[in-house]
Amino acid sequence: MDTHLENRTALVCGASRGIGAAAARALASEGAAVILTARNRPALKELAEELDSQGARAAVLPCDLSRTDRLAELADKAVDVYGNVDILINNTGGPPAGGNLSFTAEQWRQAFQGTFLSAEVLTRRLLPAMAESGWGRIINLTSVSVRQPVESLILSNSIRAAVIGWSKTLSREFASRGVTINNIATGYTLTARIEELAAARARERKVSIEEVLAEMAAAIPMQRLASPEEIAQAVVYLASDQAGYVTGVTLPVDGGYILGL
C-alpha cells in the first residue's frame, strides 16, 4: 500500500510507550516526520534516537497532556518544528478504573480534561491550517468501551463516548475541505494500561494478574490480546491517502470483541 506519507508531519500524543510509541514507529517507517509528546522525556528521547538511527525524522516535545492550559503552546511548537502538522494522533492514558459511584466531582473533571479536552484543544488549534491546506488527518485513539461498556470503567465508558460524538460532528463540517477525522476503538492490547487494569482486578478478586489476562483473552474471539503494532497499522491506514474517503467512522480493532452489529 502506497501511503504517500513521505512529506507529511505527525504529532503523536502519548508517544512514550504502548500504542502511541508503536504508532510513531509505524508512521516514521512510512516516511512521515514525527513529533513525539508525552510526559516521560527520557522515554521520548530514547524513541527519537531509535528513529533517527533508522533515518527517520523525529522530534521531542514533552508535555503533560492533561494540562490543557499548555496545549495551545504545544501545538504551536509542533508546527514550528517542521513547518506544519498534517496528522494529529490524539492518544492519552485512560481514566482510572473504579466503582460506578466511587468518583468525586473533581475526579470526573480531571478525567474529562485529560481524555476529552486534550483532544479538543489540540484539534481546535491545528485543524484550521489543515483545512486551509486542503489535507489533514485527525485520529483519536479510543476504546471498545465506546461501543460496549467495560465493567468498572465508568469514566472511560462515559467520556470516550463524548469523543466519538464530538469527532463525528466535526468530521461532517470539514469533510469537504480535505480533512478526515476518525476514531480507532482499540480492543484489549498488551500495554502498560492493560497490565494496570489487570492488576487492579486481580487485587480486587485476590487472583493473579496472569489469570485476569487469560480471562481477557478468552473473551476475545481471536483468543488473544492485540499487540500495539497491530493497532498502529490501523493508524497508518487512516492517515494515508488510501483512506481519503473515510471520515467520521469509529473503527474497531478488537479481535472481534464487540458484540454489536
CATH at 26? 3.40.50.720
Q: Are residues 221 and 232 in the same domain?
A: no
Residues 151 and 72 in one domain: yes
Q: How many whole angstroms from its chain centre is CA 38?
A: 12
Determine the residue type at 225.
Answer: L
> Residue 207 falls within a domain, yes or no?
yes
Residue 135 and residue 53 share a domain: yes
Query: Does residue 261 sit within a domain?
Result: no
Cell representation of residue 170: 466535526
Instruction: Judge whether 4 lies within some domain.
Output: no
pLDDT tens readout for residues 24-49: 999 999 999 999 999 999 999 999 99
- What is the per-residue pLDDT across 115-146, written as a single tens digit (0 to 9) for each? 999 999 999 999 999 999 999 999 999 999 99
Instruction: Clarify whether residues 182 and 204 are in a common domain.
Output: no
Q: Is 3 contained in some domain?
A: no
Looking at the fold, whether 192 and 111 belong to one and the same domain comes out as no
**193 and 183 share a domain?**
no
pLDDT of 107 reads 95
Range(s) of the domain holding residue 196: 188-225
Are 154 and 212 found together in one domain?
Answer: no
pTM of the entire structure? 0.95
Does 209 lie in the same domain as 89? no
Q: Verify that 123 and 192 share a domain, yes or no.
A: no
Instruction: Convert the pLDDT of each residue in 94-109 to its tens digit.
Output: 888 788 888 999 999 9
Q: Is residue 128 part of a domain?
A: yes
**Do 130 and 196 belong together in one domain?**
no
Buried b (16+ CB within 10 A) or exposed e, 146-183: bbbebebbbbbbbbbbebbebbbebbeebeeeebbbbb
The reply to whether 259 falls in a domain is no
3-state percent breakdown (helix, strand, coil) of the chain, nearest 5: 50, 15, 35
Q: Provide the pLDDT for residue 200.
A: 83
119 belongs to a structural domain: yes
On whether the CB atoms of residues 146 and 213 are closer than 8 A, the answer is no
Tell me if residue 228 falls in helix, strand or coil: helix
- Tell me whether residue 1 is in a domain: no
Which pLDDT value is given to residue 196?
83
209 and 101 together in one domain = no
How does pLDDT run across 2-16, given as a tens digit for each residue? 899 999 999 999 999
Is 123 in the same domain as 234?
yes
What total of structural domains would you count in the chain? 2
